[in-house]
């Protein structure tokens, strides 16, 4: 079983819509969950982290965590063409600080 799974996409949404990105993980002891954004030809950069069940909002971004279902999601409200990128879900390994990354979901926001 893959440790962190994401739908590779591409996920296409119109400008102004809500983009919903999903991630499941296999390690039940994981405590730290992250969303990184990677533009084409660039390095990943952290968007959000979440540690507790529920929702965490930061501007247009909302991270959602459900540890019982081993599920993390990222919602992007009022999507903009500049949000077009690959979104990487990451989960800490073995309760430590090294991360397992998913393969990423490609998001395309069309004007």
Partner 1 sequence: DVKVTQSSRYLVKRTGEKVFLECVQDMDHENMFWYRQDPGLGLRLIYFSYDVKMKEKGDIPEGYSVSREKKERFSLILESASTNQTSMYLCASRQSIPTDTQYFGPGTRLTVL
Cβ(44)–Cβ(38) under 8 Å?
yes
- Residue 98 burial by CB count (10 A; 0-12/13-18/19+): exposed, middle or buried? exposed
Under rule CB under 8 A, residue 57 binds partner 1:
no
Binding mask 20-39 for partner 1 (x = CB under 8 A): ------------x-x-x---
Under rule CB under 8 A, residue 71 binds partner 1:
no
Cβ(74)–Cβ(62) under 8 Å?
yes
Near partner 1 by CB under 8 A: residue from 17, 49, 71, 108: 49
Instruction: State the residues that interact with partner 1 by CB under 8 A.
Output: 32, 34, 36, 42-46, 49, 88, 93, 97-104
């Amino acid at each position: 079983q893959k440790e962190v799974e994401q739908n590779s996409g591409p996920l296409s949404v119109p400008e102004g819509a809500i983009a919903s990105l999903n991630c499941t993980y296999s390690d039940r002891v994981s405590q730290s969950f992250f969303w990184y954004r990677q533009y084409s030809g660039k390095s990943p950069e952290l968007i959000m982290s979440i540690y507790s069940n529920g929702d965490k909002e930061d501007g247009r971004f909302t991270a959602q965590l459900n540890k019982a279902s081993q599920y993390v999601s990222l919602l992007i409200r009022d999507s903009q063409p500049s949000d077009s990128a690959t979104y990487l879900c990451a989960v800490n390994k073995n309760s430590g600080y090294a991360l397992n990354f998913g393969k990423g979901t490609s998001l395309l926001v069309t004007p």
